[in-house]
Amino acid sequence: MPPEARGAPLAEVTRAYQFSAAHRMHNPAFSAAENARLYGRCNHPTGHGHTYRLAVTVRGPISPDTGWVLRAEELDALVGQHVLARFDRANLDQLIRPADGVTSTTEVLAGVLWRLLDGALPAGLLWRLRIEETPNNFFEVNRPLLQRAADPPDRPGPAAGTQKASRP
């Protein structure tokens, strides 16, 4: 069977970046004592910082013209513009909106970076983000996880949609 009759192979390409940022974990809804108990030294009043390492994975068909899923320079430019230019040498607490989450945990940061990069890349191409806060703490968000969260198995699926709509 000629290769073109089988359809383009689907590959994942991952590129690694890093940025240095300050933050302080603090939920203004809690008392000072409660924040100190909850977040410990990460609640230090004047903040602290990390060299975050970010691995961005795109997934798609390999172009028969270039042999690439996406031009590396194009990904670098988008990550540079939407993430590094904003988050490198910055204070995360000034960049994270209340709608993103209560405070600048790396879980919340992962959601923010996903929103920014998913909006900047061609639709559906972003597959996974992995963020290392330190070499010992890393966080991952990926499209299958997000899809599962948006459509948990106990919720009616598309097939059951009409049933749901017909309910009073």
Partner 1 sequence: MIQLTKRVEFCAAHRYANPRWSAEENARVFGRCVNLHGHNYVLEVTVQGEPAPETGMVIDLKALKDLILETVNSRFDHKNLSGDVPELADTNPTPENLAVLIWELLAPALQGCRLARIRLHEDGSTYVDYAGERRAAPSAAGAGHAA
Per CB under 8 A, residues contacting partner 1 are: 4-17, 57, 60-62, 65-69, 71-73, 123-125
- The distance of closest approach from Cβ of residue 71 to partner 1 in the complex, given in angstroms and rounded to an integer, is 8
Give one word for 56, left, alpha or beta, with left for phi > 0 and alpha for psi -120 to 50. beta
Burial level of 131, CB count in 10 A (0-12/13-18/19+)? buried
For residue 161, the minimal CB distance to partner 1 (Å) is 20
Task: Tell me how far, at minimum, the Cβ of 73 lies from partner 1, in Å.
Answer: 7
**Dist. CA 125–CA 128, nearest whole Å:** 10
Nearer to partner 1, 65 or 154 (CB): 65
Q: Which is nearer to partner 1, 69 or 96 (CB)?
A: 69
Least gap, CB of 11 to partner 1 (angstroms): 5
DSSP string across 74-108: HHHHHHIIIIIHHHTTEEGGGT--GGG-SS--HHH
Helix axes 106-120, 72-79, angle to 10 degrees: 130
Output 30 or 68, the one with its CB closest to partner 1.
68
Pick between residue 57 and residue 103 the one whose CB is nearest to partner 1. Answer: 57
